[in-house]
Amino acid sequence: MRIPKRYGQSQVLSCPFCGKQAVTKNKQKVPVCMKHKDSVIDNWKCVCGSFLDIQEGKWGPYCRCIKCGAVNFKRALELNPMPEVKEDPKTEVKTVPKQETVKADDPRYFD
C-alpha cells in the first residue's frame, strides 16, 4: 500500500548540535537553528580514518572523504557524535533608576 506524501513534511531538517528544527545555515552551509548560527563543525572522521570535508549539494549537505568518496551527512553525524553544548546562565544586572526632581521654575520643566 502506497502512503501519499504530505505537504511540508517531505524534508524536515534538524540542527546537528541540538536536534531542533533548522531554520538557517552556518558558514559551512549546514542547516542549523538560530542558536547555533555561528557554530562550526570541526574534525569529523570517516570510517576509514581520514578527515571529512563538509560540502553543499543539490539535496543538502554531505561529506566527502578522500578514500571513500561521498558520505551521507546523517551517517557522518552518527559516526561523529556532537558534543553537548552547555548554555551559560546569563546574569542580568539591574540598574537602579535615577530619581530627578524638577520644580516649576526649572527650565527643564517645559521640555
pLDDT digits (tens, 9 = 90+) for 20-56: 899 999 998 899 999 988 888 888 899 998 999 999 9
- Specify the higher pLDDT residue, 3 or 29: 29
Residue 11 has pLDDT above 80, yes or no: no
Q: 44-53 pLDDT, tens per residue?
A: 899 998 999 9
Residue 14 is given by DSSP the state B
CA dihedral in degrees (12, 15, 20, 22; nearest 10)? -50
Coil, strand, or helix at residue 36? helix
* Cβ(62)–Cβ(55) below 8 Å: yes
> pTM (2 decimals)?
0.62
